[in-house]
Chain A
Amino acid sequence: MNRSFNKSQSLRYLDCTAVEVKSKYGAEFRRFSVDRFKPGKFEEFYKLILHIHRITNMEVMLGYADVHGDLLPINNDDNFCKAVSTANPLLRVFIQRQEEVDYSSFGTNTLTRKKKAVVTLRNDVNRKRPHIRIGMPQDFRPVSSIIDVDILPESHRRVRLYRHGSDKPLGFYIRDGTSVRVTPHGLEKVPGIFISRMVPGGLAESTGLLAVNDEVLEVNGIEVTGKTLDQVTDMMIANSHNLIITVKPVNQRNNIVRSSRISGSSGQSTDSGSSAGFAGMPPPIAGHSFPPDDLESDEESDIVIESNLKRPSRRSTSSTASRAQPQAMPPAPPPPPPPSPPRPPSVISTASFHSQPSLNGAGNHNLSYKLHRDLNLQHHHSSTPIIRESNGSLHKILNTLRTDPRHSLALPRGGVEEDGTVITL
């Protein structure tokens, strides 16, 4: 963590590799420096900011003033890197609390405009210029992306479907069929797997990236030739948390034409370069096979409930989970990294589970992090922002959640509700 951030360094050795940083939270300033060429990870920077401002428990939003004076967000490695490299000479960082973020303040000319209007009341500004509110990318979750554009033939498309929670079905059907391949012996008909139907309103349809009669070539990097329809079905279902299918679209007119180098600048459509915003997203892998473990993202980790055995009840024969004693909160994890995709707001978690880290260590604290985050999201209006200190009242919170009419989740009287995202004790 201290590899590239060194507080005292900046003032003593003002050489060209150091970038001076001035961060502002409310009325407080902090000054430090980062290495221009090795700025490090955004995550670390974020932790550092929280640390030096002593606001470790808080969800914040970072922004910086770029050369044109625009207030731009810092929320992933890429724009952090950009911010550091373009700082001239000072990098000005603005910190806002997550729940107080004023999205209208971001964007072109925002900073300069705000400077002018600094004497007027902000409400007035808003009244005068009603904005269409466009949320930050991190407040959305990706539902699909086209990946590996640079390594696939233009006639193929590799689509990644993200299925968070269970709010939307994947929603497509596949069938057997024949496709025509060019072989050394001329054209040959070979059996293939095709998309046969889309469920209206399903994830597959809503992405617009898959269509009926698209030929399925690969599922998560594994070719489907020689496999039966049932095998391919099982493979897709087994990968349904993170499904990557390579198709040959039946409509070849909408293909992405590779011009020169497409970099992360058009990351919206070609996700290959700027994937750092999504936790667990691997860098694009050349070649055709994905090591399955690398694809493992945190949404795949299993839920483990560990009961406290200290106070066993004699009649422990019932399934009512409320009898299981919640374990004490595990030792406080370091401040969680923010840039993981937010869960849908239906996530409720309790203190007594641990996330099971997938093999990439990054997932280690994700779940417990989400716990805070989600409770925060749910309750930022109810004035209990600091969850860690309210360990004992977790149950109370859960109970209030349970009765909260806004939650459409009907919790079962006993047992574990087996709806992917919800675990109650």
Chain B
Amino acid sequence: MKRFRRHGQETHRDRLKQELYQFAKTVEHGFPHQPSALGYSPNLQLLAIGTRSGAIKLYGAPGVEFMGLHDENAAVTQIHFLPHQGELITLLDDNSLHMWTLRAHQGLSELLEVGRFTLTGPPGAPPSVTRVTAVLAHSSGELLFLGTEGGHVFVVEVPGFRELEERNISVEAVQQRVPEDYMGRRNLECVEALQENPLNPHQILIGYSRGLMLTWDLDTNCSRHHFLGTQQLESVWWTPDGQQILSSHSDGSYCQWTLNDEDRQAEPDKHEMPYGTFPCKAISKIMQLSTKQGPPFLIFSGGMPRASYGDRHCISVIHSKTHVALDFTSRIIDYFATTSGAQGKGEPSALVVLVEEELVVVDLETEGWPVIQTPYLAPLHCSAITCSHHVSNIPLKLWERIRAAGQHQSAHYSRKPWPVKGGQNLAPDAPQRDLLLTGHEDGTVRFWDASGVCLYPLYKLSTAGVFHADADTTDNMNHGAEGEWPPFRKVGCFDPYSDDPRLGIQKIHLCKYSGYLAVAGTAGQIVVLELNDEPAEQLVEGTLADLLQGQEGFRWKGHTRLEVREEAVAFPAGFQPFALVQCQPPAVVTSLALHSEWKLVAFGTSHGFGLYDYQQKNTVLVRCTLNPSDQLALEGPLSRVKSIKKSLRQSFRRIRRSRVSVRKHHVGNAAKLQEINARLEAEALQEMELAPVQRKIEARSSDDSFTGLVRTLYFADSFLSDGSHNSPSLWAGTNGGSVFAYTLRLPPSDRRMEDPITAYPAKEIQLMHRAPVVGIVVLDGRGAPLPEPLEVAHDLARSPDMHNAHHLLVISEEQFKMFTLPKVSSKLKLKLTALDGSRVRKVGVASFGSSRVEDYSESGLVVLTNQGDLHVISLPSLKMQVRYPCVRREDVSGIASCVFTKYGQGFYLISPSEFERFSLSARWLVEPRCLVELPPTPSSSASKPLPRAQPDGAAVQHRNFRRDRENCEENVSPRVMEHALLNDEKVLQEIQRSLEGDQTSYLEHHSKSKPGGGKLITNGGESSRE
């Protein structure tokens, strides 16, 4: 009955919802997980990275990004751009070849897969005959040469992938012209390398694994020069002048051959083993770049002495007298060099190296070959990410100060511009400055510019300096000892090993108005820092907070407290610590809140919570929340694991110098208590496979572990004691469903330094359903969440309504519950778990702006559940607004890593090194919009001109070829649907008509049948990305 009565209202509400909320995953920040191939087009100035999961990503100038995903879940092994075109060929692990194209559409480019091909050999041939090992995209742009494991070279015409059988170069034809005594009884093995003569496109070089190389004349279809190498071939390089050929070999040597009139050469001109005498590892790739004046650059990877440095990942660069072995911290995937001129001509300018965990670019033009900072592909995981914190809308002043501090740190980087600069970034400037802060296992906090498509590193803060850590002080960047051979130089910043896991950052809180920062770590340490533009010496005194409060009979078996340095420590410009609290027992800090106006920090662990006055540097309040039966929390949850870890740490440290590429799959260290539930669930998932699947139905009892764990802390200026006087208050919520409220008495500002701050217990609420309290919010008289501290003082928020009654919103994992204040009585509730069985994992308050009306906005709760769904829940009415599947429910670390912004966007980790950015807001959207101008070629005109729909369209994207790990089911049908619709002229005309006419009626009509109807209009293509 209710529904009928309010029918009219609800349709209005539905329309409003469409204007407020829209879900899209917009861009992936960070470094692709498990890269497996690298490609570069000197023509387009784009680099392409393929991954083991079958994704390819193209990058050009900052902001120019494309992404595609192969339907096959196979690793990309090779990427080749077709010369002078916007097309590229990928070779997958399953021996399939795929053609992708960059197509301009509505002024934006998009990456599309346009063809696929698998080589079929003669009937009955073994699979090795057609197993592709080498690919050459011929400069004509029409031919592909495919060398195979069987030694054949197949010729395929592109586009269209037509096999030209008559032009194939069979291994038999080659063998005929090779001297009998060289051949012996062995075959030539697989085709290792295919190269085109840089000057004569009718001549190609074929290198066989056994060591034979020959040039093949495409016009006459016969071989011309034979180079009878005797060592196992790894790679070949044809120098740009076309006169010389370099070959690298598995014994760590390389050879130089000259093209002359001799038909057969048995001996190379030059045979060298750079790291000689003792056995060496293979040189996997070699290149030589000539310079106008002076000697060329010789660049090769590998070749290290097997016994002493066989486990290093090195690229050696030799130029004149300079010889450097760039020592990377993870396995080298591939590398290329850029040149100063167009089309791959001119002086070599930079060396771009893709290693397994990062992209490193070395400036070859500047003395000392410094590294150029990458504007994208940032290795977020150089130390494992343990937490993240997002701050929206940073004031310009703070932004500039952080940037300035960061610039001091990046002094060792090259000043040269980023060498890969293809495409144009057409995205509008970011509407505001956003910071993403990531906490890492090694005690660092990294500040990222998250305003736009590129996640750009701004500043790095290390908290380790406060403590006596047994960290080795060797700087990654320093050069090897004088005269060391090989002349190693460490490059790259990926270093997953933390010397002391206690330093790990667990919680971060930054006040963007005052520049105060609080970070809390694994060993119960809370550091308060202040932004200082000058380097300074600080003496940081630790304050001990005994959270057990005399509870007896408990013994902490976990790690010990960190030792504080007692002397003044010099800190560089930037955030400098000035206060420190250490919890006793030193359990991981599970919640943190900073109030910069009151100059208070609240912190909580599994034992209790405390309040610290960082102005007077004393503890105001300590409260133990332990349940006496909760033994586990008291002993330290992972004490046994820890001890093993400790004993193994030394041996790991020894190993790590050699095997850095051993991957750390899991984000965060094991002591991440706030994720304990999620983890237990994951363990249960694993157990499911062993034991019969069975779940116990039992109400939560007080015996559950970690009921005392403090999950959330909140400061509010509200009506706690009576309805007429508001006062500062501190709220704490625990894992056992308890809420504690304290009234704070602050002295007047002129007595702030002298008079003590006092806290009185005011209220305790025990939720009867006992689910963990994950969030506490106080709503003002208008039903809006209270503003952040200092927000009103800086004129950036409306001051809260203090005339009408405030409300307390307690968010547990199961329910949203609104209480009246000051007398706490239940007013409203939304029982999420009782309704659909999902539980709240992450919650945030966000403001949603309407995409239609400029000045209309609503606040809402953004919720991520354990099912991986995103919900928006209205405030203060607590009504579910929208729900979108976002993360796979099995992706526990993805769900645990999610952070929300204040404007309806969010980030979560899709791999240890990548953040996925999503948007729930119809107004705010950050996504790549870019265009790559293609050289005019007739083949690219295949795309049908489409009517231009909604020119001022809200930037809406739908990336179909995205990682299928998320909601692949959901994606399939819309893709097909869109494709079908957009290839239908009639539908397109109808769309246009409806856009010119009544826009909303169309929206209403179509959005019912298909989620994301709006996307269809603005996107207009089954693009992967524009």
A residues apposed to B, CB below 8 Å: 163, 166, 169-176, 196-197, 204, 220, 222, 227-241, 292-293, 299-307, 309, 312-314, 316-319, 324, 354, 356-359, 412, 414-420, 423
Closest to B831 in A: A292
Contact A303 B766 (CB under 8 A): yes
How far apart are the CA atoms of A217 and B826 in the complex, in Å?
31
Q: In chain B, residues 759-803, which have Cβ atoms closer than 8 Å to a Cβ of chain A?
A: 759-769, 771
Q: Which residues of A contact B889 (CB under 8 A)?
A: 228
Q: In the complex, what residue of chain A is closest to B839 when comparing beta carbons?
A: A234
Residues of B within 8 A of A317 (CB): 549, 621-623, 759
Looking at the assembled complex, report how far the CB atom of A191 sits from the nearest CB atom of chain B, in whole angstroms.
Answer: 12
Residue from A204, A306, A416 within 8 A of B763 (CB atoms)? A306
Instruction: Report which of B627, B700, B767, B819 forms a contact with A237, defined as CB distance below 8 A.
Output: B700
A420 CA / B738 CA spacing, docked (Å) = 12
Interface string of B884-921 (1 = CB under 8 A from A): 00000100000000000000000000000000000000
With A197-B694, A241-B769, A319-B624: A306-B837 Cβ-Cβ less than 8 Å = no
Instruction: Say whether B765 contacts A302, CB under 8 Å.
Output: yes
The reply to whether B831 and A240 form a contact with Cβ atoms under 8 Å apart is no
In the assembled complex, B284 has its CB within 8 A of some CB on chain A: no
Query: B825–A172 contact, CB under 8 A?
Result: no
CB-defined interface of B611-635 with A at 8 Å, one 1/0 digit per residue? 0000000000111111110000000
**CB closest chain-A residue, reference B830:** A292
The reply to whether A418 and B707 contact each other, CB–CB distance below 8 Å, is: yes
Given contacts A176-B693, A412-B628, A418-B738, contact A231 B837 (CB under 8 A): yes
Contact A314 B762 (CB under 8 A): no
> Interface readout for B503-538 with A: 1 if CB under 8 Å, 0 if not?
000000000000000000000000000000000000
With a cutoff of 8 Å between Cβ atoms, the chain B residues found around residue A229 in the complex are 693, 695
Interface string of B979-1018 (1 = CB under 8 A from A): 0000000000000000000000000000000000000000
Interface status of B555 (Cβ within 8 A of chain A) = no
- Residue B650 CB within 8 A of the other chain: no
Distance (whole angstroms) from the CB of A354 to the closest CB of chain B: 7
A319-B549, A418-B736 known; A305 and B768 CB under 8 Å? no
Closest to B625 in A: A319
Q: Are B696 and A220 within 8 A (Cβ)?
A: no
What is the chain B residue whose CB lies nearest that of A413? B628
Interface string of B817-831 (1 = CB under 8 A from A): 101000111100101
A319 to B46, CA, bound (A): 63
Given the known interface contacts A292-B835, A307-B762, A319-B549, the answer about A172 and B697 at a Cβ–Cβ threshold of 8 Å is: yes
Q: A175-B693, A238-B814, A415-B627 are in contact. List 19 more A-B contacts (CB 8 A).
A: A170-B699, A171-B698, A173-B696, A196-B692, A230-B684, A235-B835, A238-B769, A238-B771, A240-B700, A299-B768, A302-B765, A302-B826, A304-B765, A309-B760, A319-B623, A354-B823, A356-B824, A359-B826, A418-B736
Give residues 719-756 of B contacting A (CB, 8 Å): 721, 736, 738, 742-743
For the complex, what is the distance from the CA of A170 to the CA of B625, rounded to whole Å? 27
Bound CA–CA A419/B692 (angstroms): 32
Point out the residues of chain B lying under 8 angstroms from A420, CB to CB: 701-702, 768
B867 sits at the interface (CB 8 A): yes
Q: Which residue of A has the minimal Cβ distance to B623?
A: A319
Q: Is B432 an interface residue (CB 8 A)?
A: no
CB distance from B624 to the nearest CB of A (A): 5
Q: Distance (Å) between the CB of B784 and the closest chain A CB?
A: 24
Contact present for B698 and A237 (CB under 8 Å): yes
B833 at the interface (CB under 8 A from A): yes
- Cα A239 to Cα B867 in complex, Å, equals 19
Is there contact, CB below 8 Å, between B834 and A220?
Answer: yes
Complex interface: chain A residues within 8 A of B231 (CB) = none
A232 to B738, CA, bound (A): 25
Q: What are the interface flags for B927-947 relative to A under an 8 Å C-beta threshold, 1 for contact and 0 otherwise?
A: 000000000000000000000
Q: How far is the CB of B86 from chain A (nearest CB, A)?
A: 45
Contact of A231 among B621, B622, B697, B867 (CB under 8 A): B867
Chain A residues whose CB sits within 8 angstroms of the CB of B698 once the complex forms: 169-171, 237, 240
Q: Is the CB of B824 within 8 A of A306?
A: yes
Q: Contacts of B836 on A, CB cut-off 8 Å?
A: 222, 227, 231, 235
On chain A, the residues within 8 Å of B232 by CB distance are: none
B838 at the interface (CB under 8 A from A): yes
| Chain A residues, Cβ within 8 Å of B768 | 241, 299-303, 420
The answer on a CB contact under 8 Å between A239 and B837 is: no
CB distance from A78 to the nearest CB of B (A): 27
Bound Cα distance A23, B654 (Å): 93
Q: What's the Cα separation between A357 and B828 when bound, in Å?
A: 11
B residues near A174, Cβ cutoff 8 Å: 694-695, 697
Task: Tell me if A238 and B764 are in contact (CB < 8 A).
Answer: no
Q: A232 near B622 (CB under 8 angstroms)?
A: no
Total residues of chain B contacting the partner, CB 8 A: 62
Measured CB to CB, the closest approach of chain B to A55, in angstroms, equals 30
- Given the complex of chains A and B, what is the CA–CA distance between A302 and B826 in angstroms? 8
| B695–A312 CB distance below 8 A | no
Check B699–A163 contact: CB distance below 8 A: yes
How far apart are A309's CB and chain B's nearest CB, in angstroms?
5
Instruction: List chain A residues, Cβ under 8 A from B742.
Output: 316
Nearest first, the 3 closest Cβ-Cβ pairs linking A and B are A231-B837, A418-B702, A240-B699
User: Chain A nearest CB: distance from B466 CB in Å?
Assistant: 26
Q: How far is the CB of B810 from chain A (nearest CB, A)?
A: 9
Establish whether residues A173 and B694, one from each chain, have CB atoms under 8 Å apart when the complex forms.
yes
Q: Give every chain A residue within 8 A of B771 (Cβ-Cβ).
A: 238
From A163, A197, A232, A312, residue with most partner B Cβ within 10 Å: A312
Smallest CB–CB gap between A2 and chain B, Å?
A: 28
Let me know if B823 and A306 touch, CB within 8 A: yes
A318 to B623 CA separation, bound complex (whole angstroms)? 6
Task: Compute how far the CA of A349 lies from the CA of B766 in the bound complex, rounded to whole angstroms.
Answer: 14
* Separation of A379 and B838 alpha carbons in the complex (Å): 45
Q: Which residues of chain A come closer than 8 Å to B624, judged between CB atoms?
A: 319, 414-415
A230–B681 CB distance below 8 A: yes
Give the residue name and chain of the B residue nearest to A245 (CB): B697
A211 to chain B, nearest CB (A): 14
Assembled-state Cα–Cα distance A171/B696 (Å)? 8
Asked if B758 lies at the interface with its beta carbon under 8 angstroms from chain A, I say yes
Say whether A238 contacts B833, CB under 8 Å.
Answer: yes
Query: Which residue of chain B has its CB nearest to the CB of A299?
Result: B768
**Complex alpha-carbon distance, A175 and B814, angstroms:** 22
Which of B681, B738, B829, B834 is within 8 Å of A416, CB to CB? B738
The answer on a CB contact under 8 Å between A304 and B763 is yes
CA distance A414 to B815 in the complex (A): 29
User: How far, in angstroms, from A60 to B808 measured CA to CA in the complex?
Assistant: 40
Residues from chain A with a CB closer than 8 A to the CB of B693 are: 175-176, 229
CA distance A415 to B626 in the complex (A): 8
Q: How many Å from the CB of A194 to the closest CB on chain B?
A: 10
Asked if A236 and B764 sit within 8 Å, CB to CB, the answer is no
Q: Which residues of B in the span 473-501 have a Cβ within 8 Å of any Cβ on A?
A: none
Bound complex: CA of A172 vs CA of B694, how far in Å?
10
A175, A316, A417, A418 pick with most chain B CB within 10 angstroms: A418
Min distance, Cβ A336 to any Cβ of chain B, angstroms: 18
Q: List 29 A-B contacts (CB under 8 A).
A: A166-B699, A166-B701, A171-B697, A196-B692, A227-B837, A231-B837, A231-B838, A234-B833, A234-B837, A234-B838, A238-B833, A302-B765, A302-B768, A303-B766, A304-B825, A307-B760, A307-B761, A307-B763, A316-B760, A317-B623, A319-B608, A324-B761, A354-B823, A357-B825, A357-B826, A414-B549, A414-B624, A415-B626, A416-B766
Q: How far is the CB of A308 from chain B (nearest CB, A)?
A: 9
Per-residue contact bits, chain B 595-609, to A (CB 8 Å; 1 contact, 0 not): 000000000000010
Smallest beta-carbon distance A183→chain B, Å: 22
Q: Is A241's CB under 8 angstroms from B699's CB?
A: yes
The answer to whether B834 and A238 touch across the interface, beta carbons within 8 angstroms, is yes
Q: How far is the CA of A300 from the CA of B760 in the complex (A)?
A: 28
Contacts of A233 in B (CB 8 A): 695-697, 837
Taking a contact as CB atoms under 8 Å apart, the answer to whether A309 and B695 are in contact is no
Which of B624, B707, B817, B835 has most chain A Cβ within 10 Å? B835
- Provide the residues of chain A in CB contact with B833, threshold 8 Å: 234-235, 237-238
